[in-house]
Structure 1
Amino acid sequence: MMEVDGTYYVGLSARTNREGFEQFKAIAAQFNHPALAVPVHDFLHLKTGTTYLGDSKLLVTGEFVNHPAFANFTQLVVPAEEAYAVNCINTGNGVIMPTGFPVVKQLLEDHGFPVFEAAMSEFEKIDGGLTCLSLRFTAH
């Protein structure tokens, strides 16, 4: 699931089916938050192929490039050979991304994001990404 300004984008995959999405959508609606289903075919989950960076900018790769659900975003397209680096985290002070992906690093820097690299090679071997290894809290 990816939250963007109060809207929840929920990947439909082997991990989250339509029934689970509909239950979540009903709960989110109680709090006036829309939820949109995004079918996921080629990735483990939604945020393996797309990450919201803020300021209407979205890292995308593979099946999510030019996806209709993301038509209102500026898409920063990541080539297939660097797809693992799509799973990154914008902390508000910069983007934490895996080490070793120079095209993605340059893409982020070209769009004004300070970049902080983290060694992820051992986690990459088991399909673990930065968002899988993080707990984030927002103060309201």
Structure 2
Amino acid sequence: MTDHSFRFTHALCRSPARSVTDGLRAVDMGAPDPDLFLAEHAAYVAALRAAGAEVTVLPAQEAFPDSCFIEDPALCLKGVAILLRPGAPSRLGEAAALRPDLERHLSAVVELPPGGFVDGGDILCSDDEVMVGLSARTDAGGVAALRPLVEELGYRLRLVDTPPEILHFKTESSLLDAETVLATPRLAATGCFAGYRVIETAEGEDAAANAIRFNDPVMLSKGHPRTAARLTAAGFDVVELPTTQAALVDGGLSCLSLRYSLPGEEQ
């Protein structure tokens, strides 16, 4: 088993813009505080570095309020970046703006062919499978365009019907290791994780499901003690991080970085 689904050497992040106060949100719970967001983002970057990542933090892009959620416009697999097409109109320019940085840091960059939309927040990758959830931001046309690109890299693609009340597939799921998924009871009940071991978030702690495994640690949003205890009991090394400001603009831990290894660097 290669474990390239959670063992990485690099991460690419983007500093939150002051304009993040205008970021997209399904439910308006108030605007984030840009200074507090920056502090929480710095703690996130520090945790990635402590886990062994070589982290590059790109400058803020004021023209794109949601651009700190760098995972949505690109997918990194085996050192290759696939430029995606986010489904929200205000984010359509993010992939093109990100491309020069991807070309500097990744071994190759390919572009999603025309035909639909795909958000990185709807993509969950194991060692050999790319699961893509349909959502308000990802459609069947986009998934059809993505399929040959991931198959060429040696993955099979599986389409998942995300319940309509869930914004992104990874809003309520994350990969803990090549065979284990953390998910909300609601998403797990759909049966979409057949073949995986599923650890469910505790009642009232749905937001904990958007976690990331980076090398040894599982990074979890702070404030979900019972889910943290479940993961610890299952043998995972849990690091809790504050995400109060990202949560105000529909963000979480996974969308704040692109995690990857270059060919020959896999751990």
Whether these two folds match at TM > 0.5 is yes
Q: 2:234 pairs with 111, 119, 124, which one?
A: 111
2:161 is aligned with 1:39: yes
Q: 1:10 pairs with 132, 138, 141, which one?
A: 132
Is contact 2:127–2:178 with CA below 8 Å preserved after alignment?
A: no
- CA distance in structure 1 between the partners assigned to 2:214 and 2:154 by the alignment: 25
Is contact 1:42–1:63 with CA below 8 Å preserved after alignment?
A: no
Quote the residue 1:130 is aligned against.
Answer: 253
Quote the residue 1:20 is aligned against.
Answer: 142
Quote the residue 1:83 is aligned against.
Answer: 206
Quote the residue 2:220 is aligned against.
Answer: 97
2:195 is aligned with 1:72: yes
Specify every segment of 5 or more residues in structure 1 that has no aligned partner in the other structure, as ranges. Answer: none
CA positional deviation for 1:84: 0.7
Q: Deviation digits for residues 8-63 of structure 1, max 9, x if unmatched?
A: 00011111100110111122223332100111222111111111100511111143
Q: Deviation digits for residues 89-131 of structure 1, max 9, x if unmatched?
A: 1112211111110011001101111111111112212221011
- The AA in structure 1 aligned to 2:237 is P
**CA 100–132 in structure 1, closer or farther in 2 if over 3 Å, else same:** same
| Equivalences, count | 140
Please say which structure displays the higher CA radius of gyration.
Answer: 2
Instruction: Please state whether the residue corresponding to 2:198 is helix, strand or coil.
Output: strand
Is contact 2:174–2:183 with CA below 8 Å preserved after alignment?
A: yes
**CA 59–12 in structure 1, closer or farther in 2 if over 3 Å, else same:** same
**TM-score, scaled to structure 1:** 0.92
Is contact 2:173–2:211 with CA below 8 Å preserved after alignment?
A: no
- CA distance in structure 2 between the partners assigned to 1:33 and 1:62 by the alignment: 27
Specify every segment of 5 or more residues in structure 2 that has no aligned partner in the other structure, as ranges. Answer: 1-122
Same amino acid, percent of matched pairs: 29
CA positional deviation for 1:134: 1.6
CA positional deviation for 1:64: 1.6
Instruction: Please state whether the residue corresponding to 2:158 is helix, strand or coil.
Output: strand
- CA distance in structure 1 between the partners assigned to 2:141 and 2:131 by the alignment: 15
- CA distance in structure 2 between the partners assigned to 1:32 and 1:57 by the alignment: 20
Is contact 1:60–1:76 with CA below 8 Å preserved after alignment?
A: yes
Provide the alpha-carbon RMSD of the alignment. 1.5
- CA distance in structure 1 between the partners assigned to 2:239 and 2:151 by the alignment: 36
**Stretches (4+) displaced over 6 A:** none
- The AA in structure 1 aligned to 2:215 is G
CA positional deviation for 1:80: 4.6
